[in-house]
Amino acid sequence: MLDFYGWTYDACLGPILSKTRHWMAAYVREKNLFPVLDLCTGTGAFCRIIGGGPQHSVWGLDLDGRFLRYARAKAPQIPFIQADAGRMPFPDSVFGAVILSYSVHDKGSGLRTAMMEEARRVLCAQGQILFLDFEMPWDRASRIGRVFTYSIERLAGGEHFRNSQQFMRAGGLRAFLALSHCIELESRSLPWGNSRIVAARFRE
Ligand SMILES: C[S@@+](CC[C@H](N)C(=O)[O-])C[C@H]1O[C@@H](n2cnc3c(N)ncnc32)[C@H](O)[C@@H]1O
């Protein structure tokens, strides 16, 4: 049976994020960045777009059992691992890409740092990290988008909301990339979501 929590998350955000997730999946396919790890996968929606299988190997990792129950029921062929993103059960240098889709802003700074160290460890030499997260508003549409995303974050509440506010006060995704020693390779702005997709690699 599908988990209600996962179902609700997908029903609310799935349609809004679908196009963006497809863009990211197309990027991974075009650059052949397999195997790919969707870190903090949530309902596993990105993994389902990639599809899995020997040519398009994808793994999802999350800490929340409710999301994972949903993700496994929807795509039994994809390995979904329950683990802490700051301490991953994978050997070094095994993934061609790590996806962080709205998975940074909601974490505390200690976990963010641990996640980035782990992402660097599990990526192979030419591996890329794909971020999708909130950016400081840069034009009228993104300022309107910020009102919308702020409301969603407010609804999430608690630690998630506090961490998200801190992430924005610190300068959003662009500042986080600089702090994490990432070099931007390609990016795409999503003004109405007050967000940006960034493909990056770690500085050597
Ligand atoms: C805002 S959701 C993003 C989900 C998904 N990536 C998406 O784009 O819809 C953040 C996710 O981080 C997960 N998470 C929180 N703390 C975690 C941790 N320490 N390790 C792994 N996942 C964690 C949550 O369970 C949640 O699924």
Give 93-114 pLDDT, tens digit per residue: 999 999 999 999 999 999 999 9
Domain holding 166, by residue range, is: 4-202
Look at residue 172 and tell me whether its pLDDT is greater than 60.
yes
Q: Which residues form ligand 1's pocket by a CB distance below 6 Å?
A: 40-42, 62-64, 67, 84-86, 101-103, 106, 111
- Beta strand 36-39 pairing with 95-101: parallel
What pLDDT was estimated at residue 54?
Answer: 82
Q: What is the mean pLDDT of the chain?
A: 96
Give 126-140 pLDDT, tens digit per residue: 999 999 999 999 999
CATH of the domain at 115: 3.40.50.150
**Number of domains present in the structure of the chain:** 1
Give yes or no for a contact between 120 and 192, defined as CB atoms under 8 angstroms apart.
no
Residue 170's pLDDT band (cuts 50, 70, 90): very high
**Whose CA is closest to atom 17 on ligand 1?**
63
The CA 134 to ligand 1 mean position distance, Å, reads 15
- Average pLDDT (163-181) is 97
- Helix 140-156 with 158-169: angle, nearest 10 deg: 150
Return the bridge partners of 39, or none. Answer: 61
What pLDDT was estimated at residue 1?
Answer: 57
Look at residue 34 and tell me whether its pLDDT is greater than 90.
yes
- Average pLDDT (29-46) is 97
- Average pLDDT (191-202) is 97
What pLDDT was estimated at residue 53?
Answer: 82
- Average pLDDT (22-40) is 97
**Whose CA is closest to atom 19 on ligand 1?**
84
What pLDDT was estimated at residue 204?
Answer: 83
Look at residue 176 and tell me whether its pLDDT is greater than 70.
yes
Pocket probe for ligand 1: among 7, 62, 88, the residue whose CB has the most ligand atoms within 8 Å is: 62
Give 63-81 pLDDT, tens digit per residue: 999 999 999 999 999 999 9
Look at residue 3 and tell me whether its pLDDT is greater than 90.
no
